[in-house]
Amino acid sequence: MTLPAPSLRIDKWLWQARFFKTRSLAAKQVSDGKVRVNAVRITKPARTVGPGDVLTFVMGDDIRVVRVLALGARRGPAAEARLLYEDLAPPPTRAEAAEAASMSGAPVAIPGPRPTKKERRRFTISRGDLLE
């Protein structure tokens, strides 16, 4: 007799992996059709996921793509939650973030260490703020 594959409700897994602050927020995202499992849109929070499934969902202004590696037993600390998934969409590079900031005109936090005075000056000159 074969054992059934381990699975967990998607709303509970998203909450345990700390993508959403509450389980009801996770369930609302799923109900609104903003979550895909293996490229198939789902609308029921009771849909189960297991290791190997690929989830795509919107979180703020970003689209997250993650692969489920494990099912959690509880909602633990962030370090424990990061072990539950593999992020398939890498974060934007400094150049991509700077380009997005210059295109929108809005300030965007660039990941990484704080820029030096020389780098800040070069960035300001490239935007044309000091030329006028």
77-100 pLDDT tens trace: 999 999 999 999 876 677 777 776
Share of the chain above pLDDT 70, in %: 81
In the structure, what pLDDT confidence band is assigned to residue 3 with cuts at 50, 70 and 90? confident
Q: Which residues of 77-105 are buried (b: 16+ CB within 10 A; e: fewer)?
A: eeeebeebbeeeeeeeeeeebbeebeeee
**Where along the chain do its domains lie?**
8-87, 94-127
Query: Does position 35 have pLDDT exceeding 90, yes or no?
Result: yes
51: which residues sit within 8 A by CB, 6+ positions away?
A: 6, 68, 69, 70, 71
pTM of the entire predicted model: 0.70
Quick one: pLDDT at residue 20? Answer: 95
Mean of pLDDT over the chain: 86
Tens of pLDDT, residue by residue over 108-122, are 565 678 888 888 888
21: left (phi over 0), alpha (psi -120 to 50) or beta: alpha
Q: What is the CATH number of domain 8-87?
A: 3.10.290.10
In the structure, what pLDDT confidence band is assigned to residue 24 with cuts at 50, 70 and 90? very high
Query: Does position 40 have pLDDT exceeding 60, yes or no?
Result: yes
Q: Cα(65)–Cα(89) distance, rounded to whole angstroms? A: 6
